[in-house]
Chain A
Amino acid sequence: MMRYASDGRPLPTPTDTSRPFFEGAREKRLVLQRCPRDGFFFYPRSHCPSCLGVDWQWETVSGRGSVHAFTVDRVGHDPALASQVPFAVAIVELDEGPRMSANIVGCEVDAVSVGMRVEAAFEDVDDITLVRFRPCGD
């Protein structure tokens, strides 16, 4: 079951495994797991998806990356977000390697492009912090 913010947006519900990610976001830090053999991975998992090892550590990363792909949702494929359209959704490739999906904020939706440099932007919503990305210079 999804839960929703007071403004109607869908919100994540952390698990014990993913909670450090959301706690980092609350402190405006992007934290990812790093496997000593295979490097960073995302999303948070109990086991490294490359070697199934469990000796990973949480590390703060730069929060910078590039738009790998994006779309502008014009209709609200999640009815809970229909009032927010148009909004930009992107797959961001972090400089550390992993990809994550997030909204692109801080610019017009029509200004988003593949390859655009972005940085993490943290938005507190009720009891959780959402990680979004905004354009940055480099």
Chain B
Amino acid sequence: MGKRAAAIAGFVEWTPQRVWPKPTFALEAAAQLAAEVLADAEIAKDEVDSFLIGGLPESPMFAPSALAEYLGLRSNFSEVVDLGGATAVGMVWRAAAAIEVGACETALILCPSLPPPPPPDIGNSMGKLQMPAYLGGDAWGSPQGQFELPAGLAAATPSFAMVASRYMDRFGLREETLAKIAVQERHNAQANPQAIFQGKPISIEDVMSSRRVADPLKLLEIVMPCWGGGALVVTTRERAERAPHRPVFVSGFGEHLTHKSLTYAPDLLESPIRLAADRAFAMAGVERSAIDMASMYDCYTITVLLTIEDAGFCKKGEGGAFVEEHDLRFDGGDWPLNTHGGQLGMGQAGIAGGLSHVTEAVRQIQGRAGEHQLAKVDLAYANGTGGMLAEQSALILEGA
């Protein structure tokens, strides 16, 4: 990928909302996202010859063909990516790699996350819905259903809380340091009109006194689930250069995973981020010090701290000191992080929440960030974290 053969040409990001005014099927939302992102990049629908999605509730099997049929696409490369919060980043590099090897030329990355219309009441024939808190772990035969869920290890927060507990014991991290991450991301959100927490700045004291959810994590260190959606167009360098916005090359990428349940992580404090980031930086041939802005997956404050360390911006165990020593704000901060407010400030709209970190890097590189625009961004690090600190994908994005 050092060849900079594939570039992001355009994006669309819907404003996350707690209540979406109109229930919409994923097929319908994907069609709307496709129309909007193609308009942004001024690329014709007939030029699209590939797409990536994160699943399709209306067609759990044969999802790509169902989407191609609904949108009227003729696709040479179609994929469902299943990496949780790392899905969107995983989609970007898959699209770029497919374009670079010549499998396709123009790919849509579609991340709809809207509430579907409720099914009509037709009795119990739909079968019993699975409990969302189990994240699919209650399937028959699932090890998670036998060994994690009966202990109450459901959803994601308790797992990340356990990572924080171990980190604090090992490295002496203070809760106030984690709180600073939430406060400064929330500050950045004040300059993003699409952020769900715009108009609601917070202080360290606010975080520290917020409800204890899973020790040591407190409510204001945890993302707010929302509805929303986002999309990107990835295309060849040549085609991106003829689009209206500055092309954003996918210069490097990496991905790594080893486990589903945190219990079986090879090392709770050495996350898969390290190997994904090392590969991405090596592929792009750039140093950490050359990065102008970081767009790090932030489902929880502890995720950001581990990402700063494991992506190689400081040594293991020094993430707390790094956060204390640096100013993460977009306006004058020496190390701007999640300038859109992150998901902590913007809201987490399913896999579109993970996409927001890529979109913000693209927005900054293209000079389209409005109120929260940084002075100069040519090179950005963006990553996604899925599941229980499990799936990890990293990108180096570079302005043409």
Residues of A within 8 A of B (CB): 1-2, 9-15, 18, 43, 68-81, 84, 87, 89-91, 99-103, 113-115, 130, 132
Contact = CB atoms under 8 A, between A and B. Distances in A.
Given A77-B133, A78-B152, A101-B151, A12 B145 contact: yes
B264 interface: yes
A11 B148 CA distance: 10
Contacts of B214: 71-75, 77
Interface of B: 128, 130-131, 133-134, 138-141, 143, 145-155, 157-158, 161-163, 165-166, 169-170, 211-217, 261-264, 268
A78 B147 contact: no
Given A1-B130, A73-B158, A114 B140 contact: no
Nearest to B268: A69
A91 B150 contact: no
Contacts of B213: 74-75
Contacts of A14: 146
Contacts of B145: 2, 12-13
B164 to A, nearest CB: 8
Nearest to B155: A77
A79 B215 contact: no
A73 B152 contact: yes
Given A1-B130, A91-B263, A71 B158 contact: yes
Contacts of B212: 72, 74
B150 A10 contact: yes
A18 B146 contact: yes
20 contacts: A1-B130, A1-B140, A10-B149, A11-B150, A15-B141, A43-B147, A69-B165, A72-B215, A74-B214, A74-B215, A77-B158, A78-B155, A79-B131, A89-B151, A89-B153, A90-B162, A100-B147, A102-B151, A113-B169, A114-B169
Minimum-distance CB pairs A-B, first 3: A71-B161, A78-B154, A114-B169
A130 B158 contact: no
A114 B166 CA distance: 7
A3 to B, nearest CB: 9
Contact of B215 (A18, A71, A80, A130): A71
Given A11-B150, A69-B163, A89-B158, A101 B133 contact: no
B248 to A, nearest CB: 37
Nearest to B169: A114
Which of A12, A69, A99, A103 has most B Cβ within 10 Å?
Answer: A69
A79 B137 CA distance: 15
A43 B146 contact: yes
Which of A9, A70, A72, A101 has most B Cβ within 10 Å?
Answer: A101
A93 B146 CA distance: 18
Given A43-B147, A69-B268, A81-B152, 11 more contacts: A1-B128, A11-B150, A13-B140, A43-B146, A72-B215, A74-B212, A74-B215, A77-B158, A78-B154, A89-B162, A101-B148
Contacts of A15: 141, 146
Contacts of A72: 212, 214-215
Given A1-B140, A10-B150, A13-B146, A78 B165 contact: no
Contact of A114 (B147, B165, B263): B165
Contacts of B261: 101
Given A2-B145, A71-B215, A103 B263 contact: no
A33 to B, nearest CB: 13
A101 B163 contact: no
Contacts of A68: 166, 268
Given A2-B149, A69-B268, A101-B148, A78 B133 contact: yes
Contacts of B162: 69-71, 89-91
Which of B128, B163, B215 has most A Cβ within 10 Å?
Answer: B215
Nearest to B148: A101
B133 to A, nearest CB: 5
A115 B165 CA distance: 11
B78 to A, nearest CB: 31
A84 to B, nearest CB: 8
A103 B152 contact: yes
B148 to A, nearest CB: 5
A102 B154 CA distance: 12
Contacts of B268: 68-69, 91
A30 to B, nearest CB: 13
B262 A79 contact: no
A103 B151 contact: yes
A128 B75 CA distance: 51
A11 B128 CA distance: 17
A77 B150 contact: no
Contacts of B155: 77-78
